[in-house]
Amino acid sequence: MFDTESASHLIQLALREDLGEAGDLTSKATLPDETRLRGRIVAKANGVIAGLPLVAMVYAQIDPTVEVRLICRDGDTVEQGTLVAEVEGKGQSVLTGERVALNFLQRLSGIATLTSQFVGAAKGTKTAILDTRKTTPGWRLLEKYAVTQGGGQNHRIGLYDMVMIKDNHIDGAGSITEAVEAVRAYQPASGVPIEVEVRNLDELREVLPLNVDRVLLDNMTNEQMCEAVKLTAGRVKLEASGNMSLERVPAVAATGVDYISVGALTHSAPALDLSMKIVRL
């Protein structure tokens, strides 16, 4: 689930952009070679941690003799002051990796934290929180991993592992029914699941007999969604979508939809505040 390949690639990009040719000039000029430091990564706010494997990988790349102790695990809830991880070794190496390691950890923990807030807002219902394809280019698999660490579930990975029929596809094919048939004819035995986006109850009624895997209720009011749930009566999974804020989630979840998908999880999560305290050994 944690994708080491894209992690490894982004670490290379990150080190190249932070170090250039000349490297960490300040540390090389001021720290004696024999200085050893311990860096303690500590939470400065409450949240959920995600991305610890990247801390280990960053230091393995910079200087594999730096020891990395992961005190927390991904998915752990932390409070302000919680010790999350420690790194210890050659002082220059510890400082050189500090910012890159934190940039990864803060971003992914920010996503896990925001996700856990949405999941909390739907607590007590059977509604799951989903991410979207609104991810940072180059980071999709890592961000979708962070969503799972916050208690969310993953929507499709990309355009290739699930069909999502929207209005333009329906226009292209002629009707909802024709669109679904076109998809089934395209790759008869592929097993790729099909979701259809509907904007009102009439469209929902047209989809229901088609036996698709999921229906997306696009920008409906809570009342419309209640109606949709009743109408559907469990025959297909329902996903609510469209500007879902933390404030609105409890009411939407109460309608009985199966999923709420939230673009903000990945496109607008603020970083979780974490810092590295340096101790001399």
Q: Which of 40, 133, 166, 184 is catalytic?
A: 166
21 is catalytic: no
Q: Residue 58 — φ and ψ, nearest 5°? A: -60, -50
144 is catalytic: no
What minimum distance in Å lies between the beta carbon of 54 and a copy of itself? 7
Strand order through the sheet with 128-130: 128-130, 259-261, 237-241, 214-218, 194-198, 163-165
What minimum distance in Å lies between the beta carbon of 234 and a copy of itself? 25
Q: What CA–CA distance (Å, rounded) separates 14 from 87?
A: 19
| SS3 sequence of 33-50 | CCCEEEEEEEECCCEECC
134 is catalytic: yes
User: In sequence order, what E strands does the chain have?
Assistant: 36-43, 47-48, 67-70, 77-78, 83-90, 128-130, 163-165, 194-198, 214-218, 237-241, 259-261, 274-280
280 contacts 39 by C-beta, under 8 angstroms: no
What minimum distance in Å lies between the beta carbon of 32 and a copy of itself? 6
Nearer to a copy of itself, 129 or 269 (CB): 269
Q: How far from chain centre, in Å, is Cα 256?
A: 24
238 contacts 215 by C-beta, under 8 angstroms: yes
Nearer to a copy of itself, 181 or 227 (CB): 181
Q: Which of 40, 133, 134, 248 is catalytic?
A: 134
The DSSP call for residue 9 is H
Q: Which of 40, 99, 199, 237 is catalytic?
A: 99
Nearer to a copy of itself, 191 or 234 (CB): 191
Nearer to a copy of itself, 17 or 202 (CB): 17
195 is catalytic: no
260 contacts 239 by C-beta, under 8 angstroms: yes
What minimum distance in Å lies between the beta carbon of 168 and a copy of itself? 5
126 is catalytic: no
Q: Which of 18, 63, 218, 273 is catalytic?
A: 218
Nearer to a copy of itself, 95 or 129 (CB): 95
What minimum distance in Å lies between the beta carbon of 58 and a copy of itself? 9
Catalytic residues: 99, 134, 166, 197, 218
